[in-house]
Structure 1
Amino acid sequence: MTSSVATQSTTSQASSIAPAIIRPSVRRDSIKVEICTPAIGAELSNVNLADAALDPDAIAEIRALWLKHKVLFFRDQNITPMEQQNFAAQFAELEVHPLAPSHPEADKLLTLYRNLDPGKPKSFVEKASRENLWHADVTFKKAPPRGAVLRWEQGPASGGDTMWSNMVMAYEKLPDSIKQRIDGLYAKHSAEHSFGAQMPIAERHAMAAKNPAVEHPVVLTHPETGEKVLFVNSAFTTHFSNFFNFVDIRYGQDFMPEAHHLMNYLTSQAAIPEYQVRLKWRTNTVAMWDNLQVQHYAVADYGNAPRKMLRATLAGTSLD
């Protein structure tokens, strides 16, 4: 009898409190995780990103999975540009790209639009370059982006896949002799030879002055996981800053070839298939990756078919 009264009293008290708003699209089931490859990547389902942005527990769970698997995929995310931007903002401050256009409705989203119809809005500027080389985004900044949230709006019926490569594993699998050789090395990262290559010389110099080359460690210690990452890429890394060898060389002309061969060897590690995952996009697919742990490659095999993507960029901190 006492137990019944207590239960009724508790129920009465609870009824006087406004119920918590639990969004069914977040809590209908626990987040389902499907591993993509042994090396990298997981596809998450039973979650809506627009609603997850309002749920701190869901964000914490996604963040832990992001750090563990390095790139996450979400299918069937029929969300607006602002909802995508709001979701991404739960993981870090957002930043705009220093050299590329933003979306007119969501000012922190980068528009990656190609081969659009002639009647496209003038505010949508198409990119002329491709990203079909292994790279991490904007490493020519002192504080490279922490990560990215990319959504596919429109694309070809086939082709246009994106690949990601695990640069933590790339470092782990290096021969010990190479690990010893690169310990303590720094490298320069620059946008001048990539974004500026097609500019007239005066514009290129102005761009380089506004975005001067920076120096990052070749082996980066990840700020959250503590893992060691091979942090050089073929898009922006130009040369070692402090490479020297005064013991094994015969003549001065041996000096730089050794450095170039080593850099080429290191940047080529991203292309090893055993470190990779490949995504076949569909409309409203979202990919979220850790820009410090991975590199990516956008396969440019879709000819002149339209391709529309929106990317939110998570701001990083200085790597010094």
Structure 2
Amino acid sequence: MTNTATLTENLPSSTSTIRVEKLTCSIGAELSGVDLGEVARDAALFAQIKGLLLEHKVLFFRDQNFSKAEHVELAQRFGELEDHPALGSDPDHPGLVRIYKDLDSPPEHFENAYHCDATWRVNPPMGCVLRCVETPPVGGDTIWVNMALAYENLPARVKEQIKDLRARHSIESTFGARMPIDQRHQLKERFPDAEHPVVRTHPETGEKILFVNSFATHLVNYHTPENVRYGIDYAPGAGNLLTYLASQAQIPEYQVRWRWTENSVAIWDNRSTQHYAVQDYWPAVRKMERAGIIGDAPF
């Protein structure tokens, strides 16, 4: 039996019901009976969607045939949009990033790692709206992970150990790694490494969230008398702990996996989730368009 709910309160007459079907016990819901083009224009309907996003952390929609302008308008309901230094935006729709994987752009293996978007920024995105423009016949799924649940299930001794730790996040060591050294250094000058708490607090729900991912390079304040007996302890101690924490995203019980179809959409809360774009479809084509919403500094 599927776990579903139907919401009717305060919806505009053009959309009589929203059907909400949970996809797993821990994260994700598919919504039907809603037109995201209408959501972009209707404040009351948007408020319903935002409330569901905070509850389920990632929302999925099928058959959303809206325009690029409506895509941008919908994402702007959440806040100002960001550009991406490595991918760039659609020239006619600022803030709409084209992630096109076709025969002229073989997989570069940036997305197939568990990550929150752009935590190398001082203010990482609060969320994203991603639409599938073209999908391969098989493969190309995306996985999302509930990192609030990942934190909740950590052993008490680990929670105590990490409560005040901070981690460094880098674009230089990820997107910049394949660049010539001068370009890599220029990229770091534009986007210096950001430092974030290992455990962040969600600004709207108050949840504690495990906030390290593949952009995190090292723990910056681990080397204290409480943690390190001799200097040589630092490297394995801090590195092993960071690896352990990042590995929590790989636990299936915290995940939902979404099979894309043309004009399907995902909206996710980047503060409380990680995701992994599975690159198992080459040489088939996969084209996505994403609008990332500027967030605030994690605390």
TM-score by length of 2: 0.92
Tell me what 2:60 maps to.
Answer: 73
Deviation at 1:105, TM superposition (A): 3.0
In the alignment, residue 273 of structure 1 is paired with which amino acid? Answer: P
Match of 1:91, SS state, is coil
Alignment of 1:286-301 (within 5 A): 286-301=265-280
Decide whether the 8 Å contact of 1:245 with 1:255 is kept in 2: no
In the alignment, residue 189 of structure 1 is paired with which amino acid? Answer: H
Tell me what 1:135 maps to.
Answer: 115
Tell me what 2:201 maps to.
Answer: 221
Q: Which has the higher strand share?
A: 2
**CA RMSD of superposed structures (Å):** 1.6
Pick the aligned partner of 2:292 from 313, 316, 319: 313
Pick the aligned partner of 1:114 from 83, 90, 101: 101
Decide whether the 8 Å contact of 1:239 with 1:263 is kept in 2: yes
Tell me what 2:261 maps to.
Answer: 282
Alignment of 1:73-222 (within 5 A): 73-116=60-103, 128-222=108-202
Deviation at 1:210, TM superposition (A): 0.9
In the alignment, residue 205 of structure 1 is paired with which amino acid? Answer: H
CA distance in 2, matches of 1:129, 1:175: 32
Larger Rg: 1
Decide whether the 8 Å contact of 1:82 with 1:105 is kept in 2: no
Is it true that 1:268 corresponds to 2:255 in the alignment?
Answer: no
Superimposed CA distance per residue, residues 77-132 of structure 1 (whole angstroms, 9 cap, x where no aligned partner):
0111111111111111111113212113322100000115x6xxxxxx88744311
Tell me what 1:258 maps to.
Answer: 237
Deviation at 1:143, TM superposition (A): 0.3
Match of 1:242, SS state, is coil
Match of 2:90, SS state, is coil
Report which stretch shifted further, 69-78 or 127-136.
127-136
CA distance in 1, matches of 2:120, 2:183: 18
Identity in percent? 50
Decide whether the 8 Å contact of 1:23 with 1:51 is kept in 2: no
Decide whether the 8 Å contact of 2:144 with 2:275 is kept in 1: yes
Identify if the C-alpha distance between structure 1 residues 190 and 257 changes in structure 2 by more than 3 Å, giving closer, same or farther.
same
Match of 2:84, SS state, is coil
Deviation at 1:198, TM superposition (A): 0.8
Superimposed CA distance per residue, residues 226-263 of structure 1 (whole angstroms, 9 cap, x where no aligned partner):
100000002x1011111134356553212221111100
In the alignment, residue 33 of structure 1 is paired with which amino acid? Answer: V
Match of 2:164, SS state, is coil
Gaps of 5+ in 2: 1-11
